[in-house]
Amino acid sequence: MAPHTSSFISSATGYSGEQELVDSLVREQIKLFGIDIQYMPRKMLNYDKLLHESTKSAFEMAIPMPAYLKSFDGYDNSMEMLTKFGVRSSDELTLTISRSEWTTYYAPLMKEYYEDINDGGELNSLEGQTASRPKEGDLIYFPFDDGVFEIKYVMFDQPFFQLGRGYVFEMRCEKFEYSGEDFKTGIRDIDDIEESRTYYSLEFVLESGGTGTYEIGETVRIYPSTSAEMTTEDDSVITAENEDIILLTQDGYRLYNSSGFLDGVAFVTATVTGWNLPNRKLTLTQFSNSDPTQRDSIDYDVDVDKLAESIIIGDESEAEWISTSVTEHDDEFNDDDVIQEEFDQIKIIDPADMDPFGFV
């Protein structure tokens, strides 16, 4: 008789009692030797259904979860590199979580979260919505060094089907590189990533005579400054709580929408990252959209920024100030101004090339 595997326990189909034993041992190991992480599902904003990608993402929920740190001897492939975009960290982590615990505790929560985004509709896999497993692109908060890691790949076949079944999800993560994502998880250590990371921001110089003081981290609404002189139909003054301003006929902003076309909007939202009251300087980031630089119809100046003269209203503080100018906030490794200054010194202006394509 030819050799074969045990007839009592099949390594292909397994045996439910033995499988449950291995699964319980796995869960116990994670609880004894693991760490508590925060799992953050990614919410797609401005989703492009043609390219199946999003121009902006938000993280609104952080779920506590036990995980085993497989890379126990330090960050995998750990090194810091100085690039033209700044100092880049290539730290990597490998985390293991229980598959049965995900199915029991976290899958229903994820399903409810995505259904709420879809207004009760079914999960859309093309928009990266799944509850059956952790998802690439979601984030992990690592408490030891206050770090945030992005899931790059989820392994579901390691160890390779012991007793015919998988017991864990292995998440391979890389250090998260902030690029304008919106964090509203309610956990301060996570949400302050918007303030601590360098990203595109604008600094507004404000007129004297404004009211209130802005709060760091709050959302503000930016309206054309002409709206400050307007009143509603009943002659009441427009304030932060008066949403009739949106319905007014005015010269609003012309911004690029997610399809790439210019579109009119009543106001722009942003997040406060700096507020210097004595110098009346306000630093904002996380713009809901940025005004494209438009050529001025009088002197053909291409450096006109329509956000420069605006009324800025805080959603929480109800602070209300009018800006007179705006410049890009200086960031590390940002040499745009130096390059522009050098170009202005060597450029040759030909009046015939002022408007070669007929654009206005």
DSSP string of 195-207, one letter each residue: HHS---EEEEEE-
Q: Are residues 310 and 217 in the same domain?
A: yes
Q: How many residues does the chain have?
A: 360
- Is 355 a member of any domain? no
Bridging pattern class, strands 219-224 and 310-314: antiparallel
Q: Is the dihedral of CA 308, 313, 319, 321 positive or negative?
A: positive
Residues whose CB is less than 8 angstroms from the CB of residue 10 and which lie 6 or more positions away in sequence, other chains included:
163, 164
Interval 139-177: pLDDT, tens:
999 888 888 899 999 988 888 777 778 889 999 998 888
At residue 67, does pLDDT exceed 90? yes
- Is 351 a member of any domain? no
DSSP string, 249-290: ----EEEE-TTS-EEEES-EEEEEEEEETTTTEEEEE--SS-
pLDDT confidence bin for 100, thresholds 50/70/90:
very high
Q: Which residue segment(s) compose the domain that 50 sits in?
A: 16-191
- Is 295 a member of any domain? yes
Mean pLDDT of 122-144: 87
- Is 3 a member of any domain? no
**Could you give the number of structural domains in the chain?**
2
Q: Are residues 181 and 296 in the same domain?
A: no
What residues are paired with 44 via a beta bridge? 57
- Is 71 a member of any domain? yes
Amino acid at 138: D
- Is 294 a member of any domain? yes
pLDDT confidence bin for 101, thresholds 50/70/90:
very high
DSSP string, 11-72: TTT--HHHHHHHHHHHHHHHHHH-EEEEEE--EEEEEETTTTEEEEEEE---EEEEEEES-T
SS3 content of the chain, % helix, strand, coil (to 5): 20, 35, 45
Q: Tell me, what's the pLDDT at 111? A: 92
- Is 314 a member of any domain? yes
Q: Are residues 173 and 228 in the same domain?
A: no
Q: Are residues 220 and 317 in the same domain?
A: yes
Angstrom distance (rounded) from CA 304 to CA 308 = 8
Q: Tell me, what's the pLDDT at 345? A: 73
Q: Are residues 120 and 59 in the same domain?
A: yes
Q: Are residues 170 and 82 in the same domain?
A: yes
- Is 88 a member of any domain? yes
Q: Are residues 263 and 320 in the same domain?
A: yes
Q: Are residues 227 and 301 in the same domain?
A: yes
Q: Are residues 144 and 224 in the same domain?
A: no
Q: Tokens representing 32?
A: 């004894």
What backbone torsions phi and psi does residue 232 show, to the nearest 5 degrees?
Answer: -80, 180
pLDDT confidence bin for 195, thresholds 50/70/90:
low
What residues are paired with 203 via a beta bridge? 283, 327
Q: Are residues 185 and 39 in the same domain?
A: yes
Interval 250-296: pLDDT, tens:
456 666 555 555 566 778 888 888 899 889 999 988 787 665 455 45
